[in-house]
Amino acid sequence: MMLALQFAGAIAILIPFAMYQRGRWSQHGRAYLWLNLAGAATLTALAVLDRQWGFVLVQGVWALAAGWGLLRGPAPSRELRRPIPWSWAEQPREDGGMAEIPVLEPPHLEPTARTLHGWFDRHLEPVLTVDPGTTVRFRTLDSGWSAGPWTGERRRVPEWREGCAHALTGPVEIRGARPGMVLEVRIDAVVPGSWGTTYAGVRSTAWNARLGIDAPAVHAWEIDATAGTARNQHGHTVAVRPFLGVIGMPPPEPGRHSTVPPYWHVGNRDCRDLVAGSTLYLPIPVEGGLLSVGDGHAAQGDGEVSGTAIECPMERVDLTLDLREHLFGERPLTTPVARTPAGWVAMGLGDDLDEAAAEAMDAMLDLLGALHGVGRSDALALASVAVSLRVSQVANQTFGVHAVLPPGAIR
């Protein structure tokens, strides 16, 4: 009996150690701590019975440390150990030939059972912890958890569960991120998959009724990322302009939160201007940030009027994550803003378009004041001749408007 208990205690400690070494568990995760507590407590009790006081000290301290970790809750930094990913690139040699050199690749997150989730939750364990300034490479499913192209029905991946909304990859913790700071997300690359789907009229809504939509339509698209085009089964071809519809962090309130409505700290904003080359600035709502991404769109018009764009998986999304104390001055950032190829973009939400437009313009006036040193009345006068209001989306339970200041519009 004593021998069996010794084996059980040892195995309870070795399992979390092995999972940590493989990069599957965090040292601060509850499963890691509970197993260490159980194993160390068991071995401590056996050492007391055998009067092995050295082992009592070692295992007792181990058990106390695990217990303290459980009582303390999630630590501000939870690092997963991973093998360093290398690729190879060619570099010219002095003799005119080419030499292969190792190139360090950014950490990758694939859409797997470990990284996929369909909600926001501040208590969801991060799958990766990075330092500010780190580039992370994501691959994502389409928003609907599809296992492949539309073939007359949607086939979902096994990880999908009833009640899940968008298929998100993450979350990623950024060391040092805390509420009140600004998360800077530089969008370095967005590469869509080879297929996508657009749905229209699939649900009974007031919008569809107003437009006289009484039959569903599904467009299955073949995407050529190299050519920059997508073609549907009816022979229509459109240009692609890929972006992520969801780049977001969980609300500070506990529990699970739907990914469908956008939030003040972004989420499902569906702003089509957030293409590669953009930098998005987000107010951080929770410790560590806990960023998740998904809802890839190969192409979308302003408004996303059917409720969907070309919903597609993303083969590669490179995001560089950094931190700022403030964006402009000392005033806290309360709504997302971005610097994009189309210009500065300020985003607003509301129960109607008037409210969303007012929120977007409020943020734009702050931007203009910081950029050009003017008061709000002068900023509004400048905005009236240089800033455009665009409808981001009318599809996500709340309305979105973004204000755009084109490059060089005010000199």
Binned at pLDDT 50, 70 and 90, residue 197 comes out as: very high
pLDDT tens column, 241-288: 999 999 999 999 999 999 998 888 778 889 999 999 999 999 999 999
Q: Give the whole-angstrom CA distance, residue 383 versus residue 339.
A: 16
Mean pLDDT of the chain: 88
Query: Cα dist. 203→29, 207, 220, 307 in Å?
Result: 40, 10, 18, 10
Cis peptide leading into 171, omega within 30 of 0?
Answer: yes
For 107-129, what is the mean pLDDT? 96
Decide if pLDDT at 75 tops 50.
Answer: no
pLDDT tens column, 344-387: 999 999 999 999 999 999 999 999 999 999 999 999 999 999 99
For 302-320, what is the mean pLDDT? 96
Q: Which pLDDT belongs to residue 61?
A: 85
pLDDT tens column, 125-173: 999 999 999 999 999 999 999 999 999 999 999 999 999 999 999 999 9
Closest CA to 323 of 117, 180, 133: 133
| Token reading at 110 | 């694939």
Q: Which pLDDT belongs to residue 25?
A: 66
Q: Give the whole-angstrom CA distance, residue 145 versus residue 97.
A: 46
| Token reading at 44 | 């401590």
**Relative orientation angle of helices 2-21 and 30-50, to the nearest 10 degrees:** 150
Q: Which pLDDT belongs to residue 50?
A: 83
What is the DSSP code string of 202-262?
A: -S--HHHHHTT--S-EEEEEEEETTTTEEEETTS-EEE---EEEEEE---SSSS-B-SSS-
Q: Give the whole-angstrom CA distance, residue 15 versus residue 40.
A: 13
Closest CA to 177 of 78, 327, 325, 74: 325
Query: In this structure, which amino acid lies at residue 91?
Result: Q
Decide if pLDDT at 292 tops 90.
Answer: yes
Q: Give the whole-angstrom CA distance, residue 318 versus residue 409.
A: 29
Decide if pLDDT at 122 tops 90.
Answer: yes
Please give the DSSP secondary-structure letter assigned to residue 175: T
Q: Which pLDDT belongs to residue 362?
A: 95
Q: Give the whole-angstrom CA distance, residue 299 versus residue 232.
A: 12
For 3-27, what is the mean pLDDT? 76
Decide if pLDDT at 88 tops 90.
Answer: no
Domains of the chain, with CATH numbers? 2-72 (no CATH), 109-405 (2.60.120.580)
